Amino acid sequence: MPIYKTLTPNSQTTVKIWKITESYEDLLAPITLKPENMQRVLGMKSELHRRGFLSVRHLLAAFGYTDADLIYDQNGKPHLKDGRHISITHSFTFSAVVVSDAVVGIDVEKQREKIGVIAHKFLDYENLYLDKEAKDYIHKLTVIWCIKESLYKLFATPGLSFLQHTLVIPFTIEEGATVAWIDYEEKKNRYQTTFFEFEGFTCAYALPA
């Protein structure tokens, strides 16, 4: 299908989301991949991963970029050749790309009960305000995970820990936004984060506050 959703948080930032309904063959046909990326796709065992990878290239095209415009640094962070900032995510049947003049991170996750099993791996300060018995507990956990994953992507620094170096200020699902911090090596960085839910998924993105 075409673009599922387009958001413009500010005049310098655009988010595009793709719902992956096409076959692998239909996604591949109109896209030109760098040889190394073609080999990467062919080496993927999961068709879902192949389709996710290709859907991101369709999103790039929607921004006016090609696969050749995207490069990765030694930490695995994507960059655009024209110097604009980019972040990429895909989960099951959705993918998303955000492009901005500012450093930015984005994440999409499927809402699943099993996130509660790993909550201790990424929650610290947040335990002070979360209620495990609340109906929206899994939703809030997924929001926090997406926010912290977005922070991790934009910071792209080896050694950054969800548990030790990131925190998310209390929020309600209805607010759709909160502040988050990275506290790393005696430097505190503040970010404005936005989140929303759709079709059993959560998306969050982070920009400098």
> Domain spans of the chain?
3-101, 107-208
CA–CA dist 50, 27 (Å, integer): 9
List the structure tokens of 25.
Answer: 């063959």
State the architecture of 3-101 in CATH terms.
Alpha-Beta Complex (3.90)
CA–CA dist 152, 124 (Å, integer): 16
pLDDT 10s digits, 7-57: 999 999 999 999 999 999 999 999 999 999 999 999 999 999 999 999 999
pLDDT 10s digits, 135-194: 999 999 999 999 999 999 999 999 999 999 999 999 999 999 999 999 999 899 999 999
Q: Do domains 3-101 and 107-208 have the same CATH topology?
A: yes
Q: What's the CATH fold of domain 107-208?
A: Ribosomal Protein L22; Chain A (3.90.470)
In DSSP terms, 125 is beta-bridged to none
